Every structure is written in C-alpha cells, then in structure tokens.
Amino acid sequence: MKFIDEARIEVIAGDGGNGVASFCREKFRPFGGPDGGDGGKGGSIWAIADRNINTLVDFRFSKMHKAKDGENGRGADCYGKGADDIFLRMPVGTLIADNVSGDILADLTEHGQTELLAKGGDGGWGNIHFKSSTNRAPRQKSDGKEGERRELRLELKVLADVGLLGMPNAGKSTFISAVSNARPKIADYPFTTLHPNLGVVRVSHEKSFVIADIPGLIEGASEGAGLGHQFLRHLQRTGLLLHIVDLASFDDVDPVKEAKALVKELKKYDEALVDKPRWLVLNKLDVVPSEDRAKLVKDFLKRFAWKGPVFEISALNRDGCAELVNAIYQHLETKRNSEHRAEETQMTEEARGIASIDPDDPRFKIIE
C-alpha cells in the first residue's frame, strides 16, 4: 500500500428535510386540524480514528464525501426520515484542519476517537407546530436548514516515542531493523527510505516503545532538495530524537559539516523540534579501525561542540544497541512518571480548591 500522509477533501453534510403544511382529510373528522409532519435531519459526517489504518491513501483519490438529505415531512403526522451519518475512518495521529480558515478541527490521537466534521441540517417544522388557540388552521411551515460544507486538510503525524534523524545512508534503517520488528528496505545508496517506518522495540515482555524512521534530510531541504521537509511532521509528536551520524564517511565528506547542516534544516522547519531532547548516536564504528575510534570520536565531539548524551554503536553488528535501547526506555519511563506526578498534583490542587469553598459565601449559596 502506498504511504500517503497528506490529503485534501471536501465534506458536505446533508440538508434537513422541509416541513409540510397539511390538514386532516379523514371521514367523520370535518375539523381534523393541521397534521403536517417535520422534515428529517440531514446526515452528518464524522471522523473516527482507526489504529488498523496507517495511510491517507483512500482520501487522496476520494476527495468528496457527501451525506444524504433528510426526507420531507408528510401529512397525517408523518415525519420525514433522517439521513444516516457518514463515518470516515482515518489513521490514529491524523490532524484535521479547515483548509480555508486554517483552524484545527480535530486531532485524532486515540483509537476510536470520534469527531464531528460537518453537521447535518435540522429538519423544518410542519404546520402541526404552529397550531394555537388563536390560530386553529395554520398554514405556516419551515424549510430544513442546510448542512455544513467544509474543505479540509488532513495531515498524518505518526505516533511514536522516538524519532530518528540523519543524513541519507547514515544507517537509520539498519538501526531500526536491528532493535525493532520493522523491516525497511536497506541498500548501499542514498534515499533508500522513501516513507516513514514504525517499529516496536521490545525491552522485555512487558516493556516496549515505538520508534519512527523518516527519510534522510540533506542540506537545502527547505528549498526542496532531496525529499524536502515533507516527513518532518512525523517527529513533532515524539518525546526523544536520535541524531544518527555516519562516522565512517569518505574523505570528501565531513560528518561534522553534515551534522550541523541537518540541525540547521531542522531549525528552519520547526524551532520546537530543535528544543526536543536529542541524543547523538555515532554509527558505523565497526568500519573504523579500533585504534582510531577514540581519537575520531573525540575530534568529532570537539568540532561539533556537542554537550548532550553520546552513544557509540554499530547498527550492522548491533554493538552498543542494547545499551542505547535500555537508556531510551529509562528516559521515556522517567518522563512518563514525571508527567503522571504532575497530573496528580494538579488534580490534588483542584480538589483542595473545591474543598476550600466557604459554604456561607453568597456566591455559592444554593438556591432552593
């Protein structure tokens, strides 16, 4: 299946049915009165998150989604039938925005989450609702309301705990295949990865996290070089970035220059990505002679002016990968515990605020 992470669609909710002005014509009821029924409600359009879908390819080729209109009312107190709603199944992680105003309508982050995209029009009233003591034979009725119509922009941002950054051929695909169940294409030429890959890393039977690999980023991506910035959105939801550097580059390629260029392109795309926790992973050390490794690593860190965590690995031989995976899990677990404690503290403070309300305060006095 082709991976599509962006699409534009149009959703048109159904119009409400019209109410009808009708009068009872039954035998032996010469003054039966008004009996015009209401129109039915137009169909609404909803988005529902489905974890069994991982691409927006269905919406790339099916751009218009229209619900049916509600039926008109009829005589003999018959109400029109309401139209069925339409449910559009989308991948978890889909961001839905109004393409005209730019407003964010929904962010599908959980399986089964349902959000309204376009509300169906309400049905009109029949003349049965206009009857009164002074108006015994009303001829008024109302038409159904129009359903909402929107042009939407869909963006898929994959949900992962860890994101991989690196130049083409830095060894990202080899690394994700070494530590997870993902099996991306691996070759000895650049841009082997053409779309994001997700892999589940199993630390133990009950401990795991999700890692995302995106196509390599090169200098000038902001001007459209390579695959550009089109896949960087998938790193915005991650909690940790791994900057993978090929330390066994050829003589005409400076790994420090490439690493700085990548950070520069990352900053051009989104300042928040630069501020995310980022670890440096020096890869392909199996190609470097053992007596030269320490000097090469020290020289790189000095020229790159890196002060954060550093890991030395060989994704091909899996050397150092286990230590890196354990460190990642510990970091994510610490972050989750910190967020959980913050939520508990907030709930405790809110509870204390409610408990501190003075029952004699006139602002909170119960009106009987």
Within a domain: residue 285?
yes
Most confident of 61-70, 150-159, 205-214, 328-337: 61-70
Within a domain: residue 345?
no
Q: What is the pLDDT of residues 348-367, one digit of tens each?
A: 776 666 555 566 665 555 44
Where would I find the H helices in 140-180? 172-179
Mean pLDDT throughout 332-336? 85
pLDDT of 1 above 50: no
CB neighbourhood size of 156 (10 A): 25
- Main-chain dihedrals φ then ψ at residue 299, nearest 5 degrees: -65, -40
Residue 223 and residue 325 in one domain: yes
| CATH, residue 61 | 2.70.210.12
Domain count, the chain: 2
Contact between 17 and 123 under an 8 Å Cβ cutoff? The reply is: yes
Within a domain: residue 11?
yes
- Closest to 4 measured CA to CA, from 47, 63, 46, 64: 63
Within a domain: residue 229?
yes
Within a domain: residue 237?
yes
Within a domain: residue 323?
yes
Within a domain: residue 28?
yes
Within a domain: residue 57?
yes
Residue 151 and residue 168 in one domain: no
| Domain coverage including residue 274 | 162-332
| Boundary of a domain, candidates 104, 134, 156 | 156
What six digits make up the tokens of 258? 């490439």
Residue 59 and residue 178 in one domain: no
pLDDT of 68 above 90: yes
Contact between 39 and 124 under an 8 Å Cβ cutoff? The reply is: yes
Residue 35 and residue 146 in one domain: yes
Residue 151 and residue 25 in one domain: yes
Residue 47 and residue 192 in one domain: no
